[in-house]
Amino acid sequence: MHILFISPYTPNLIRVRPYQLIRALRRAGHAVTLATLWRSATEQTELEALRQLGVEVMAHPLSSGRAAWNALAALAGPAPIQARFCWHPALAQDLATLVQTQQFDVVHVEHLRGARYGRHVQSILQHSADAERPPVVWDSVDCISHLFAQAAQQSRSLQGRLMTGLELARTRRYEGQLVRQFDRVLATAHTDAQALNALAGTPDKVHVLANGVDLAYFTQRSAMPAAANDRPTLVFSGKMSYHANVTAALHLVQDIMPLVWAQQPDVLVQLVGKDPPASLRSLANLHMGADGTPRVITTGTVPDLRPYLRQADLAVAPVPYGTGIQNKVLEAMACATPVVASVQAASGLRSQGGKAVCVADGAAEFAQAILSLLADPACRQQLGQAGRRYVEQWHSWDAVGAALITIYGQRMIYGQRIKVY
């Protein structure tokens, strides 16, 4: 197949879903043309790496000024900020030219931020002379309005609560419209698919396409050694500027860890991820052991996550709210690091991960799970190995890519899906 893949941001190891889907499609022998935006020299280098994989890349720079203007312009209209934030007229024009001059078997559009490009391509295709037009598939990834509804009530970030409260109603309307407008719609988890179907009034429109994890990468030993540490260690990973991660980190340190430290005062918490706000950076000074050493370390950006996961006794994901499948959970499981997760963090897993993850909710239950596992090395090892087996069975990117090709080749007729490729 020849696939036009539209992503509003550069696919890379941070934006892992489009990056790994493209790689899986290429490994399966499909031709991929990527239309995207870049915001830094690093992202330009990452696009060059995709070209080396045989991906045809068409990219434009998205400046901070243009992104800010897009956000301001969105406030005057009915569409949410997410829908306009990554709009670039030059990329839209190039897409119009591309779909009129090349033949594609499918058009894949990533995220709510890319949806406007997908609608733009649909409008061009609808006026073309071709009888057979390629389906336009929108990968919503998550139901953003479902996330916003949770954040408006539970976020510990004031900015997060204000923004999500402002955007919630507009995002609900917009997502409901998009589900009805695109030929296929994807989401990473059943809860998000159900939320999108409910918004659109389409009971069986949204396909679930789970996230994967790079099993080979997380199996390999890192060239970066882990810092020497003889203390029991918990790791919480993710992009730390993201409001759901900020809330989860504060919940961990402020609500859960005092219960843990009361019984085991030497436990260290590592918050590993880029762009931590001041509320997280200050935690080291606020939580000190009796010997004056910090009980909390906030790392900021790290070149390699694997050493932190491997040296940790436990990976923790006390996520109070969120959507989709938590990559932080899959990555820890791929390293055979035992995971304690909230019901929300485990909700995207099959049967909540079965015996592959320890599920606990509420500060007291979560703290007790941590203490019990820290006291039982054999149980930690069993849990870590079960997590690794789980991701090997259900979350390899090649399997996810194969499932995506099956979805590309389905068409809805009389409410039933049939394969057309």
Whether the pLDDT of residue 421 is over 80: the answer is no
Whether the pLDDT of residue 420 is over 50: the answer is no
Clarify whether residues 155 and 240 are in a common domain. no
C-alpha–C-alpha distance, residues 84 and 75, integer Å:
10
pLDDT of residue 411: 55
pLDDT band at 417 (very low <50, low <70, confident <90, very high): very low
Clarify whether residues 144 and 228 are in a common domain. no
The string over 196-234, giving b where at least 16 C-beta atoms fall within 10 Å of a residue's C-beta and e elsewhere, is: bbbbbeeeebbbbbbbbbbbeebeeebeeeeeeeeebbb
Tell me what the pLDDT averaged over the chain comes to: 91
Q: Kindly report, residue by residue over 16-33, the tens digit of the pLDDT.
A: 999 999 999 999 999 999
Clarify whether residues 204 and 276 are in a common domain. no
Look at residue 217 and tell me if it is in a domain. no
User: Lowest-pLDDT range, 45-54, 347-356, 395-404?
Assistant: 347-356
Mean pLDDT computed over 187-202 = 94
Clarify whether residues 186 and 229 are in a common domain. no
Pairing of strands 56-61, 31-38: parallel
For 274-332, the DSSP string reads S---HHHHTHHHHSB-TTS-BSEEEEES-S-SHHHHHH-SEEEE--SS--S--HHHHHH
Clarify whether residues 307 and 407 are in a common domain. no
Q: Could you tell me the CATH number of the domain that includes residue 338?
A: 3.40.50.2000
Whether the pLDDT of residue 412 is over 80: the answer is no
The phi, psi pair for 406, rounded to 5°, reads -60, -40
C-alpha–C-alpha distance, residues 183 and 200, integer Å:
13
Clarify whether residues 240 and 182 are in a common domain. no
Clarify whether residues 414 and 303 are in a common domain. no
- CA 154 → CA 4, 163, 308, 322, distances in Å? 38, 13, 28, 10
**Would you say 338 and 380 are in contact if contact means Cβ atoms under 8 Å apart?**
yes
Helices within 102-239 (DSSP H only): 111-126, 144-154, 158-181, 190-200, 215-219
pLDDT of residue 198: 96
Whether the pLDDT of residue 386 is over 80: the answer is yes
Look at residue 132 and tell me if it is in a domain. yes
pLDDT band at 75 (very low <50, low <70, confident <90, very high): confident
Q: Which of 32, 56, 61 is nearest to 44 (CA)?
A: 61
Q: What is the span of the domain harbouring residue 141? A: 2-212+398-419
Clarify whether residues 406 and 316 are in a common domain. no
Clarify whether residues 414 and 338 are in a common domain. no
- As for how many domains the chain has, the answer is 2
394 residue type, one letter: W
For the whole prediction, is pTM greater than 0.95? no
Clarify whether residues 90 and 206 are in a common domain. yes
Clarify whether residues 54 and 100 are in a common domain. yes
The sheet carrying 206-208 orders its strands as: 56-61, 31-38, 2-6, 106-110, 136-139, 184-187, 206-208
